[in-house]
Chains A and B, each alone.
Chain A
Amino acid sequence: MFVRLSAAIAALSILGSAVLAQGAKPTDPQIAHIAYTAGVIDITAAKQAIEKAGNKDVKAFAQGMVRDHEAVNKQALDLVKKLNVTPEDNDTSKTLSKQAADKLAELAKLKGAEYDKAYVANEVAYHKAVNGALETQLIPSASNAELKSLLQTGLKIFQGHQQHAEQVAAKLK
């Protein structure tokens, strides 16, 4: 429990402070980059889980993450193309990628039920962090209406993912 809570807090504070650190609110090209990066991170984690997970619910959950996040990211790519916007790398995206790479390496060392639990716990924490950032930072900062709407759809599906991850986590106990 302590590990899970601290992971959630760490994820939240990193995402929150990284966005806040920029002072000014993120621009649309930065928001697009952050949202896309957040999706890629979850897809990468899910692909590792599809390889490593032993529990069939965990594997099915991971397959769902790949399916949904790829669908959202495809929408995001179509939108930036349509709006003629080039996603812009930024400190938040960099911090997210760095943290995710560390987490991936950490999870890679685990095996069996231990891995399953750690992956799902991280999915709960990660979605919680991303949803918090979407709600309080990214959606309010987005100026383009279509980008805002896509982020809102994203928030809705990621809230579902968080609940789904919590259900899977509860069953693993």
Chain B
Amino acid sequence: MRPGCYLPVMAALLFGAIEVPAHAATIQITTTDLVFAPAEVSVKVGDTIEWINKDVFVHTATARNGDFDVMMPAKKTVTSVLTKAGTVEYYCRYHPNMKAVLTIAP
């Protein structure tokens, strides 16, 4: 590949990079062997969480403050959009020792 060929690629990357903050992101949180990972995630209002349950057990991602309560069927992926800012501790209602934190910026 000639050096010149990199230019459009670079341009695309740059413009892409500029555009990213304006768009909502998609963040993946998985449950494997009864653990939420990553355990702490920083996100923004409007972002989408992809909840990926790799376990054979049904889980929930339930906010302690009541902001969200997502059902995570076994071996399935579900999505939810974050609508409220705040530091939210969440847990699994079925397995209460599964705990994690989402820091949601406005």
A and B from one complex: yes
- Interface hits, A60-80 → B, CB 8 Å: 64, 67-68, 71-72, 74-75
Chain B residues lying within 8 Å of A72, measured Cβ to Cβ, are 56
Across-interface contacts of A160 in B (CB, < 8 A) = 34, 95-98
The dominant DSSP class at the B interface is: loop
A1 to chain B, nearest CB (A): 24
Q: Is the interface of A mostly helix, strand, loop or mixed?
A: helix
Chain B's closest residue to A72 (CB) is B56
The distance in angstroms between the C-alpha atoms of A167 and B98, with both chains bound, is 14
Residues of B within 8 A of A68 (CB): 57, 94
Cross-interface CB contact of B34 among A67, A74, A75, A156, cutoff 8 Å = A156
Bound complex: CA A48 to CA B78 (Å): 33
**Number of contacts between A and B (CB, 8 Å)?**
31
Say yes or no: A64-B94 contact (C-beta < 8 A), given A71-B56, A72-B56, A157-B57: yes
Q: Is there contact, CB below 8 Å, between A75 and B56?
A: yes
**What mask results when residues 67 to 106 of chain B are scored 1 for a CB within 8 Å of chain A, else 0?**
0000000100000000000000000001111100000000
Beta-carbon contact of B58 and A157 below 8 Å:
no
B19 close to chain A: CB less than 8 A: no
- Chain B nearest CB from A71 CB (Å) reads 5
A153 to chain B, nearest CB (A): 6
A164's nearest neighbour on chain B, judged by CB, is B96
CB distance from B53 to the nearest CB of A (A): 12
Interface residue count on the A side (C-beta < 8 Å): 14
Task: Report the Cα distance A75→B57, complex, angstroms.
Answer: 11
Q: Are B97 and A71 in contact (CB under 8 A)?
A: no
With A67-B58, A156-B33: A164-B97 Cβ-Cβ less than 8 Å: yes
- What residues of A have a CB within 8 angstroms of the CB of B34 in the complex? 156-157, 160
Q: Which residues of B contact A17 (CB under 8 A)?
A: none
Q: Which of B57, B58, B98 has the most CB of A within 10 A?
A: B57
Q: Which residues of B contact A86 (CB under 8 A)?
A: none
Minimal beta-carbon separation of A164 from chain B (angstroms): 6
Contact of A167 among B57, B58, B94, B96 (CB under 8 A): B96
Interface residue A163 (Cβ < 8 Å from any Cβ of B): yes
Residues of A within 8 A of B (CB): 64, 67-68, 71-72, 74-75, 153, 156-157, 160, 163-164, 167
6 A-B pairs with C-beta separation under 8 A: A72-B56, A74-B56, A157-B57, A160-B97, A160-B98, A167-B96
Closest 6 CB pairs of A and B: A71-B56, A160-B95, A64-B94, A160-B97, A71-B57, A163-B97
Starting from the known contacts A67-B94, A74-B56, 5 additional A-B residue pairs (CB-CB under 8 Å) come to A71-B57, A71-B74, A156-B33, A164-B95, A164-B96
